[in-house]
Amino acid sequence: MADSNELFKAFNGIIKLSDSNRNILRGVRDSLRQKMWKRFATIPLDQIGTNKIDFQTQGSYVMDTIITPYDDDFDLDDGVYFLGNLSREQRPTTKQFHDWVLFVVGEDENYAKVTDKDTCVRVRYSKEKFHIDLPIYYSNNFKNPDLAHLKENWKLSGPVEFIAWFENKVGSNFQESFILESNRFAEFQTWKTDIRKTDSQLRRIVRYLKAWSDNLRGDMPPGIVMTILAAENFKANERDDIALRDTLVNIKSYLKANGCKCPRPTTPKNEDLFESYSETKKKYFLDRLDTFVDSANQAIANPNYKEACLKWQKHLGTRFPCSMIKDEMPYVKSYPKAAVIGDNAQSA
């Protein structure tokens, strides 16, 4: 049986967002925030009904499940919070809030394009292949805010709650107060550094599933679906290849048992994230899942390391490092260390 654990660790080093790209994202995010705060101050209070906006980075960047896609178009979600006490009936329209965000984002020679989407404003940058999504919220705090959706009006949301749910699955000792209370910011920074050093197997499994989706593109589910399916069906193993195979098998059984639904575990709880998928799209994903499970079983059972690696590469893409294996060696007992691949030295 081919043990591909070290190949997966090397692959993780390739797809995991590097510290250099992380620093670029953080620097651009902070610069954009400063610009938005400054321009927000010029909007008359009688128009906007609040005198404060704030920000909270969310999603895969915080949970460290973010990957560098094959085309390098990585991204960061930075929630824009309008802080106030107006009821939904008293507030301006969600379209007006989107327009205010478009105004405070403004124009910049570094922007390639600014797009108003249903749930966010997307700022795509020209010098680097990345974008920042700005989901728009209204709330009197960061917990369970209303998301400004252009088509569905105000939707109760829980971005911090989702982070807490996932981190509970990981067992990382995350606390919602790290984000909700400013006086715990230093602890939050320490926590983020620690989880990146630890790099739990569940985080790696999520990255592998995202890499699979990135390789196929098309009608594959988005990152949040892959994250939920992985966390709900994760089966740990001392080897990443077996853990991935077993998790895929569990996902297949889970979807078959519940009629191909992916219930959101946090606010809005039990929302089916496959609800908008056509039967054709669902069938496409389930067929791809079936073939991935078959290949995973074949790879683990195959005594030839090169052949096993090619089974994985078929689904995970050409970045999966089969070049590390010598053709003349059916069994490989050692690999180059994964740390030499990519740029993932730890930083705060």
Catalytic (active-site) positions: 75, 77, 133
How far apart, in whole angstroms, are the C-alpha atoms of residue 39 and residue 308? 55
What is the identity of the amino acid at 97?
A: F
**Contacts from 102-107 at CB under 8 Å and sequence distance 24+?**
103/39, 103/43, 104/35, 104/36, 104/37, 104/39, 104/40, 104/43, 104/53, 105/32, 105/35, 105/36, 105/134, 106/35, 106/39
Closest alpha carbon to 150 in 124, 116, 123, 101? 116
CB neighbour list of residue 297: distance below 8 Å, 6 or more residues apart: 245
Burial of residue 132 (number of CB atoms within 10 Å: 0-12, 13-18, 19+): buried
Residue pair 321/341 in contact (Cβ under 8 Å)? The answer is yes
How far apart, in whole angstroms, are the C-alpha atoms of residue 60 and residue 271? 20
Burial of residue 208 (number of CB atoms within 10 Å: 0-12, 13-18, 19+): buried
Helix 201-216 × helix 223-233 angle, to 10° = 140
List b or e across 57-82, with b for residues whose CB sees 16 or more CB atoms inside 10 angstroms: bbbbbbbbbbbbbeeeebbbbbbbbb
Taking residue 25's Cβ as centre, other Cβ atoms within 10 Å add up to 23
